[in-house]
């Protein structure tokens, strides 16, 4: 099967509000996400409200935005990229990712890898010196994927429901 040049490499852009249904569809297209999200038409207001809250604290220099991977004119991948300034480690700027998803129809094409590396480049350009995230301990495949991309499971990711 031949592959057209368009489908070989994704392009990337930040999400706008109109992308919300496609993003929530991706978030729900996941073993854990399918029970955690509420992907209905129209979309529940909680998603739009959360998008507005992200915008409220996001700047060009310190984004808290969803990065989208586009192929075949479709949104095929997403991740939330948050730049978090802080004082520790001599005022180190941290980049954090969350909600990493690739459409089940597009897995196995290294889209996730390209998306993570694109986020790494954005973060580095903005002055971050560390990228971090937490991933459920049951997601063994995900851990191997991230280890191949240079991530180290050096920390415990601790959570508490409030």
The residues binding its own copies (CB under 8 A) are 20, 23-24, 27, 33, 36-38, 44, 46-47, 49-51, 53-54, 56-59, 61-62, 64, 66, 80, 82, 84-93, 95-96, 98-99, 120, 123-124, 128-137, 143, 146, 149-162
**Shortest distance, CB of residue 3 to its own copies, whole angstroms?**
30
Closer CB to its own copies, 8 or 48, in the complex: 48
Q: Are 131 and 95 in contact (CB under 8 A)?
A: yes
Quote the CA–CA distance of 128 and 154 in Å, as a whole number: 19
CB of 1: closest distance to its own copies in angstroms?
Answer: 34
* Nearest CB to its own copies, comparing residues 8 and 153: 153
For residue 76, with 0-12 CB atoms within 10 Å meaning exposed, 13-18 middle and 19 or more buried, which class applies?
A: buried
Of 2 and 60, which CB lies nearer to its own copies in the complex structure? 60
Give the burial string for 97-119 (b: 16+ CB within 10 Å, else e).
beebbbbeebeebebbebbbebb
């Amino acid at each position: 099967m031949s592959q057209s040049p368009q489908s070989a490499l994704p392009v990337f852009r930040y999400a706008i509000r109109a992308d919300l249904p496609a993003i929530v569809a991706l978030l729900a297209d996941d073993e854990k996400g399918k029970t955690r999200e509420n992907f209905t038409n129209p979309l529940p207001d909680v998603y739009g409200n959360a998008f507005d809250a992200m915008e409220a604290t996001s700047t060009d220099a310190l984004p808290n935005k969803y990065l989208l991977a586009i192929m075949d004119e479709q949104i095929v991948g997403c991740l939330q990229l948050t730049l978090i300034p802080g004082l520790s480690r001599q005022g180190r700027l941290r980049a954090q990712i969350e909600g990493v998803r690739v459409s089940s129809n597009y897995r196995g094409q290294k889209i996730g890898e390209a998306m993570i590396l694109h986020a790494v480049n954005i973060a580095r350009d903005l002055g971050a010196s560390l990228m971090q995230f937490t991933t459920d301990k049951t997601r063994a495949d995900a851990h191997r994927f991230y280890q191949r991309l240079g991530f180290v499971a050096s920390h415990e990711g601790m959570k508490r429901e409030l």
